[in-house]
Amino acid sequence: MMPSGPPPRVYWTSLIFLLLACCLLPTGAQGQTYQVRVEPKDPVVPFGEPLVVNCSLDCPGPGLVSLETALSKEPHSRGLGWAAFRLTNVTGDMEILCSGICNKSQVVGFSNITVFGFPKRVELAPLPLWQPLGEQLNLSCLVFGGAPRDHLTVVLLRREEELGRQPVGKEEPAKVTFMVQPRREDHGTNFSCRSELDLRSQGLELFQNTSAPRKLQTYAMPKTAPRLVFPRFWEMETSWPVNCSLDGLFPASEARIQLALGNQMLNATVVSHADTLTATATAKTEQEGTQEIVCNVTLGVENRETRESLVAYRFQGPNLNLSESNATEGTPVTVTCAAGPQVQVMLDGVPAAVPGQPAQLQLKATEMDDRRTFFCNATLKVHGVTLHRNRSIQLRVLYGPTIDRAKCPQRLMWKEKTMHILQCQARGNPNPQLQCLREGSKFKVPVGIPFLVLLNYSGTYSCQAASSRGTDKMLVMMDVQGRNPVTINIVLGVLAILGLVTLAAASVYVFWVQRQHDIYHLTPRSTRWRLTSTQPVTVAEELS
């Protein structure tokens, strides 16, 4: 470590030299003043390095020349009126004195030695782990060693940008503090300190030393709490969605968010976009009653938390059952709607006597009950809120086939070579097969689709609907009438007469139109008549 001041022996030596200089003024015989030159004059030397000092007299008949210093010295060379001395281990700033005899009088000369040394190291004091935006940050540079201090400064750098510079004090190590207002863009930026020993005024160079960089972590945390979105009533053993988000974070990608249900941490999917952080999870509980959901967001050294309550309930049922889901026609069927404790059920609008008890309906299955739907409604009151749940079930009744007489006429009269549809339908469960065969043959006409009626389709058809539950039959008479030739001729005659009348009317119309434009004369020629056209004459021409 470089000493901060001269040792006591150097101090007293300098004081003696000062007294000598005051008492022994260099004067010649006629009052002329002589000097002792000290070279180099006020030198600047590296710490601990040797220095050669030359003392010389500028008077005639010079006497002995000597050097007074607290440093270790040894003669280097000597001549008439001068002497050189080698100083070793120069470790501090001090003053040296050269003295000599001129005309029996002692004369002295002074020189100040300045020792310079590079700082052993420069450091940027540790930065806070996270720096909130909007708050002032104090950055301190520590300089160890270095002299002379009045030529030593320290510079604060943001990357390569110089933010400020200050002189280094005398304390060891020297601490220099800069005030900085961090910005968003400073997040993740390196800051460092640089020491500068400027000896250019002494004919030397500018010496620099830079500290290792430190990265600044800035953040912004809003004052608002996270937003929690989830159903307030949870059915036990059922998964429910939970969503938590917070806006205004910087940097949102480095924030942490946690979701918990009671003491159970939820496995959430976290997404950051711009300045928003969102966590989404699904959760279920097996504990009935009021529970707490917690969302916690942490960024930097701050966190924001939201706690909200949910109610977990057990809603058993409703269960809707049929004593016979596929009942045969005429058999009794019992419909039962049941649910868990404290649940009120209602079957087809009829409530059970008390909550927790089932509701029942009994009936004898008929054809009209096939595909009948029964409805069961269950309600449960949880913390003053009524929850509903519905179930439905369909009854199938097995019954034999029946052909619908209203849609299947027993007698049909159709014209030959016309399109018709045999509109016969049959019902039953299971669905019956319906076909119509002509009696005495296996000829089958289509049922329910268009077909071309021919003359030989006339006859009596047996329509039969069959299923595993039985059969149903009915007879259908089909009378196909052929086309009448006399009627056709009459129609053709009427059409011919209509055509002639139309032609004659057209000819009269054309003649009338032509008459409005020209006058025609019939001129006999040979045995044939020719129709010629002449221009109409005016009244004057007729009088002539």
Q: How do the domains of the chain map onto residue ranges?
A: 36-116, 121-219, 227-311, 319-395, 400-481
Give yes or no for a cis peptide into 40 (omega within 30° of 0): yes
The residues, ordered by sequence, that sit 6+ positions from 79 with a Cβ below 8 Å of its Cβ are none
Give one word for 300, left, alpha or beta, with left for phi > 0 and alpha for psi -120 to 50. left
Q: What is the pLDDT of residue 485?
A: 53
Reduced to 3 states (helix: H, G, I; strand: E, B; else coil), residue 370 is coil
Contacting residues for 123 by C-beta, under 8 A, at least 6 apart:
141, 142, 144, 193, 211, 212
227-311 matches 319-395 in fold: yes
The sheet that has 332-338: what strands, in order across it?
Answer: 319-322, 332-338, 359-364
Q: Which pLDDT score is estimated for 306?
A: 97
Domain at 319-395, CATH class: mainly beta
Integer Cα distance of 103 and 491 in angstroms: 175
What pLDDT sits at residue 44?
A: 87
- Whether 355 contacts 343, CB under 8 Å: yes
Q: At which residue do the structure tokens 């030989």 appear?
A: 456
Which of 191, 185, 204 lies closest to 157, judged by CA? Answer: 191
Q: What is the pLDDT along the chain (544 residues), one digit of tens a residue?
A: 344 444 444 443 444 444 444 444 444 444 567 889 999 998 888 888 899 999 999 888 788 899 999 888 999 999 888 999 999 888 888 899 999 988 888 899 999 988 888 899 999 999 999 999 999 999 999 999 888 888 999 999 999 999 999 999 888 899 999 999 999 999 999 999 999 999 888 778 889 999 999 999 999 999 999 999 999 999 988 899 999 999 999 999 999 999 999 999 999 999 999 999 999 999 999 888 999 999 999 999 999 999 999 999 999 889 999 999 999 999 999 999 999 999 999 999 999 999 999 999 999 999 999 999 999 999 999 988 999 999 999 999 999 999 999 889 999 999 999 999 999 999 999 999 999 999 988 899 999 999 999 999 999 999 999 999 999 999 999 999 987 655 445 646 667 788 787 887 777 665 555 555 444 443 344 333 333 333 333 222 332 2
Q: Which CATH superfamily is domain 227-311 in?
A: Immunoglobulins (2.60.40.10)
CATH number of 36-116: 2.60.40.10
Placement of tokens 């339908």 in the chain: 425
Closest CA to 388 of 339, 350, 334: 339
Residues 212-243 as b or e (16 or more Cβ within 10 Å = b): eebebbbbbbbeeebebebeeebbeeeebebe
Q: Which H or E run contains 90?
A: strand 82-90
Q: What is the DSSP letter of 220?
A: B
Calpha distance 181→137 (Å, rounded): 6
Q: Tell me the CA end-to-end span of the chain in Å, nearest whole number.
A: 158
Superfamily name with CATH number, domain 121-219: Immunoglobulins (2.60.40.10)
What's residue 12's pLDDT? 39
- Rounded Cα distance between 174 and 119, Å, is 10
**Residue 410 corresponds to which tokens in the numbers above?**
């027993």
Rounded CA-CA distance 82/38 in Å is 10
Gap between the Cα atoms of 55 and 39, Å rounded: 7
Amino acid in the structure at residue 265: M
What is the pTM (predicted TM-score) of this model?
0.57
* Dist CA 113 CA 49 (whole Å): 12
pLDDT of residue 461: 95
Say how many residues make up the chain.
544
Amino acid identity of residue 514, one-letter, is Q
CATH code, residues 400-481: 2.60.40.10
